[in-house]
Amino acid sequence: MSASIQQLEARLARELGRVVVGADAAIRALVIALVAGGHVLVQGVPGLGKTLLAKTLARALGGEFKRIQGTSDLMPSDIIGTHVFDESQRDFVFRPGPLFADVVLVDEINRVGPKTQSALLEAMEERQVSVERTAFPLPADFLVLATQNPREFEGTYPLPESQLDRFMLRIDVDYPRREAETEILTRYGGMLATRATLDGVQVLERSLLGQAREEAEHIHAADGLLAYVLDIAAASREHSRLSLGLSTRGALALLKAARITAGLRGGDFVTPDDVKEAAIWVMAHRLVLTPEAALEGSSDVDVVRSLLAETPVPR
């Protein structure tokens, strides 16, 4: 049994639920990312609480939160940091940028130019940044939450495949249901409601996340299950509507997410249903549609569902 993983989800849902309304699926995806140590891309139109979700998560984890607003003139040194002359030391010293935090929100990441986007690659993969031939480590639980609006293209730069592949999950945030939206209006109708609610968020025990990771490591994945993940990856690489399929990094992320999903249901082994539950979060943003498929109105989520339906399930 995976009590710590389930306990982590329950406590995180309780604390995030004090602030964020109607985000159960997003919270589950965040738990998967936290346990796996992966980064998250949150996609949705403005005004749906993506920033509030990131702030509340940082408060619940007890870590330092920094926000980077994506603009076309943002430079790599603006997020990494730079050397400045310190008069007291009579020498140049490194002043770290906002990337040096436990939870970093990169708001509207697709408004950032390619040069600055590429500055995130080393940080996201190796949890360090290099400045003038010196490597500076980032916090051990460094987490990037990036947001983008998929329906606005003017003044934006599509994320390159190499960077998309470094996001373990993509969460698609849609408009809340009417009941949830009514509760949002009730909660946040007052001017001071947001600050008061954030102050009530309690910090989770630091040991709980470590225990959850230890339990996830011992959840069994049979050889047939590994073959199933590889079959899905191979099918994506040969799919007629895709010009780029799932990478090996993506297959690893899918297996890790499936392990944690199994733990969230209390299982001690991974099933094909666990893979299917995590597949859209892990796979959709990594797939590149062919121009013909895009013109026909196909979406990356549609293709993932098609792959899951067409790939034989091991018995």
User: Rounded to whole angstroms, how far apart are CA atoms 300 and 206?
Assistant: 36
User: Rounded to whole angstroms, how far apart are CA atoms 283 and 169?
Assistant: 8
Query: 180, 195, 254: which is closest to 221 by C-alpha?
Result: 254
User: Rounded to whole angstroms, how far apart are CA atoms 307 and 286?
Assistant: 14
Tell me which H or E stretch contains 288: strand 288-289
Query: 204, 211, 213: which is closest to 259 by C-alpha?
Result: 213
Taken in order of first residue, the domains within the chain and their CATH numbers are 3-202 (3.40.50.300), 219-310 (1.10.8.80)
Tens of pLDDT along 217-228? 999 999 999 999
Structure tokens at 119: 């500055």
Model confidence band, residue 2 (pLDDT cutoffs 50, 70, 90): low
Name the percent of the chain lying above pLDDT 90.
Answer: 50
Tens of pLDDT along 242-282? 999 999 999 999 999 999 999 999 999 999 999 999 999 99
Q: How far is CA 80 from CA 123, 196, 210, in A?
A: 9, 32, 28
pLDDT of residue 187: 82
